[in-house]
């Protein structure tokens, strides 16, 4: 299998093993263990953190002299994110950031690799996005993750809590699919039960993110002091960036066991779409994702390279009325968008190459397909809602060369009366509601400390697979709520819960005290020897766990 090189903002396999028990928790567990009532010693739990987009440090592994700048790059110097060098030597800094879009190799003059340890995700330049881009190999995703779990089990003596944020969930999914192919089915479940106690999927883009389309076509700076064109150059050089593309909920992946029949043969792992994809609108998304005005002039005459600007393109395009082309989520993820744009934007060739080689040609799975609930005992899906969200874009030619050849002329947001989220659309984040059972208990409480007077419940709500589940509950003005959807019926031994947090920012949700509080309460509930309820009771914030 060809190596898959990442330096993508949301991908970080610089995973961290963290102690997931506190002194107070140890006391509770010790009491339970003494009575012989605890299922196992929860003091042996460890935490494995899989960070999200732009969430780990990147350090130089070579020497790079930066002309006309007092700053050079030496081995172990911070690359992502060193704002001083970014400000003073941006072209030099880019050499350490960009990858070849076709073979995913470093720039000849600079090599960078992800940092390791807890500091890799905590010691970042303040004021910018939450961290650096990762640089890893696809092969390393597999053995690195497995080795991390094995180390955690050996060091602590028990299973792990997996805490994945944003695209870190995609990394975890890929590992699970790879593991399924490597060991027998019954051993696969045994391995998961032995190594993973609970999986917390935080802000998981389960159907992709529309913002990745914007980053691919015009660039997204994420607050960095660079131009959108420079941001686009970076984003499109990382093959893993396409892992965030939005895709249809009606198109599934090929059978995961195909490799047993096609070993050693060329195979394209394409999407398999059902009838709903062609009879419904927009691939299950709120709107058409991409609409692009294309000129009558095509090819390099329409968009010259930087070295090829020999004529006034603007006057050429004015000779004919532009055509508006629209693309659904399926047409974005299967490459139709980029193949159509090839006549107008030759740089699309690299994106087509990445899609075919690293996604459709992947021997484990095509990750641009929806995934089912992983067979882990306890799964918690957590995300923010009720924030303005971009769900569609209109692009037009700018008359400039790549990477500035497209401009956004209009942005479509989710409807005002619908549930909203930031950066990742609600329908993508809430896909994990499909993992809930046929009956669900819904509870809504304020995020802040409360006495239970503003608690609303709806017990044993009917949940039909493929349909969303809405609470139909009231809201007090200026109060931020958290809404819990918890299995009332499920497969024996499994628990599934979805937490929706009002006004929770996608990037910062991992730092919200309410998320940490609820995570700890659930863990304490599990370890408490006299727990009676399936989930933590919500009668009172910080109340005793029963």
pLDDT tens by residue, 518-527: 988 888 888 7
Give the residue, 231 or 75, on which the prediction is more confident: 231
Q: Which of 20-24, 377-381, 382-386 has the lowest mean pLDDT?
A: 20-24
Predicted local distance difference test score (pLDDT) of residue 213 = 95
Task: Return d(Cα 317, Cα 341) in angstroms, integer.
Answer: 16
Task: Return d(Cα 258, Cα 381) in angstroms, integer.
Answer: 30
| Residue % of the chain over a pLDDT of 70 | 75
Mean of pLDDT over the chain: 78
Instruction: Answer whether residue 8 shows pLDDT above 60.
Output: no
Instruction: Answer whether residue 358 shows pLDDT above 80.
Output: yes
Predicted local distance difference test score (pLDDT) of residue 539 = 78
What's the pLDDT band for 269 if we cut at 50, 70, 90?
A: low
Predicted local distance difference test score (pLDDT) of residue 260 = 46
Predicted local distance difference test score (pLDDT) of residue 131 = 31
Predicted local distance difference test score (pLDDT) of residue 431 = 94
**Contact of 246 with 471, CB cutoff 8 Å:** no
Instruction: Answer whether residue 247 shows pLDDT above 50.
Output: yes
Summarize the confidence of residues 101-120 as an average pLDDT: 81
427: tokens are 């329908």
What's the pLDDT band for 56 if we cut at 50, 70, 90?
A: confident
Give the residue, 442 or 48, on which the prediction is more confident: 442
H or E element: which one contains 25?
Answer: helix 23-35
Predicted local distance difference test score (pLDDT) of residue 189 = 94
In angstroms, what CA-CA distances link 35 with 105, 133, 522, 527, 533?
A: 57, 48, 21, 13, 19
- Range of 40-54, 310-324, 494-508 with top mean pLDDT: 494-508
- Range of 83-87, 230-234, 385-389 with top mean pLDDT: 230-234
pLDDT tens by residue, 148-195: 777 777 777 778 889 899 988 998 999 899 899 988 888 999 999 998
Predicted local distance difference test score (pLDDT) of residue 308 = 46
Predicted local distance difference test score (pLDDT) of residue 170 = 92
Task: Return d(Cα 55, Cα 168) in angstroms, integer.
Answer: 9
Predicted local distance difference test score (pLDDT) of residue 418 = 53
In SS3 terms, 169-196 reads as HHHHHHHHHHHHHHCCHHHHHHHHHHHE
- The alpha carbon torsion through 385, 388, 393, 394 (nearest 10 deg) reads 160
Predicted local distance difference test score (pLDDT) of residue 380 = 97
Summarize the confidence of residues 456-463 as an average pLDDT: 94
Instruction: Answer whether residue 543 shows pLDDT above 70.
Output: no
Summarize the confidence of residues 79-86 as an average pLDDT: 77
What's the pLDDT band for 291 if we cut at 50, 70, 90?
A: very high
**Contact of 164 with 374, CB cutoff 8 Å:** no
Q: How many CB atoms lie within 10 A of CB 154?
A: 8
Predicted local distance difference test score (pLDDT) of residue 284 = 85
| Residue % of the chain over a pLDDT of 90 | 35
pLDDT tens by residue, 187-238: 999 999 998 999 999 999 999 999 999 999 999 987 788 899 999 999 999 9
């Amino acid at each position: 299998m060809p190596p898959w090189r990442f330096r993508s903002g949301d991908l970080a396999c610089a995973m961290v093993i963290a102690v997931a028990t506190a002194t107070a928790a140890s006391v509770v567990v010790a009491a339970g263990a003494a009575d012989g009532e605890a299922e196992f010693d929860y003091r042996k739990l460890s935490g494995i953190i899989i960070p999200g987009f732009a969430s780990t440090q990147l350090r130089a592994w070579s020497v790079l002299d930066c002309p006309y700048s007092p700053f050079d790059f030496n081995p172990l110097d911070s690359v992502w994110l060193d704002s001083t060098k970014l400000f003073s030597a941006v072209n030099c800094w880019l050499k350490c950031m960009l990858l070849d879009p076709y073979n995913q190799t470093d720039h000849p003059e600079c090599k960078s690799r992800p940092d390791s340890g807890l500091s890799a995700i905590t010691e970042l330049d303040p004021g910018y996005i939450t961290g650096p881009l990762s640089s890893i190999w696809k092969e390393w995703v597999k053995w690195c993750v497995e080795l991390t779990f094995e180390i955690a089990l050996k060091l602590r003596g028990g299973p792990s809590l997996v805490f994945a944020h944003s695209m870190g969930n995609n990394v975890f999914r890929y590992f699970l699919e790879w593991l399924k192919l490597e060991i027998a089915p019954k051993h696969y479940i045994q391995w998961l039960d032995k190594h993973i106690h609970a999986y917390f999927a935080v802000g998981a883009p389960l159907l992709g993110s529309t913002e990745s389309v914007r980053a691919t076509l015009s660039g997204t700076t994420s607050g960095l002091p660079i131009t959108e064109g420079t941001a686009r150059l970076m984003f499109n050089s990382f093959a893993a960036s396409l892992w965030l593309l939005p895709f249809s909920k009606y198109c599934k992946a090929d059978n995961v066991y195909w490799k047993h029949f096609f070993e050693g043969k060329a195979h394209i792992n394409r999407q398999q779409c059902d009838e709903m994809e062609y009879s419904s609108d927009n691939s299950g998304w709120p709107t058409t994702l991409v609409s692009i005005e294309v000129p009558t002039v095509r090819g390099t005459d329409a968009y010259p390279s930087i070295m090829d600007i020999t004529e006034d393109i603007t006057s050429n395009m004015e000779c004919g009325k532009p055509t508006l082309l629209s693309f659904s989520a399926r047409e974005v993820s299967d490459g139709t968008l980029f193949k159509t744009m090839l006549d107008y934007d030759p740089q699309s060739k690299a994106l087509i190459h990445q899609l075919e080689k690293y996604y459709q040609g992947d021997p484990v799975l095509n990750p641009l397909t929806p995934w089912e609930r992983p067979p882990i005992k306890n799964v918690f899906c957590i995300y923010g809602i009720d924030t303005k969200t971009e769900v569609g874009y209109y692009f037009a030619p700018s008359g400039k060369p790549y990477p500035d050849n497209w401009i956004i002329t209009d942005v479509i947001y989710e409807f005002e009366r619908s549930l909203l989220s930031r950066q990742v659309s609600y329908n993508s984040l809430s896909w994990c509601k499909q993992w809930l059972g046929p009956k669900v208990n819904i509870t809504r409480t304020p995020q802040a400390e409360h006495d239970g007077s503003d608690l609303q419940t709806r017990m044993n709500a009917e949940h039909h697979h493929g349909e969303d589940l809405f609470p139909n509950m009231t809201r007090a003005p200026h109060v931020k709520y958290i809404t819990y959807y918890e299995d009332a019926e499920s497969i024996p031994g499994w628990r599934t819960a979805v937490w929706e947090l009002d006004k929770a920012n996608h990037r910062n949700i991992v730092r919200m005290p309410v998320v940490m509080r609820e995570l700890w309460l659930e863990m304490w509930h599990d370890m408490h020897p006299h727990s009676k309820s399936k989930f933590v009771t919500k009668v009172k914030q910080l109340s005793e766990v029963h």
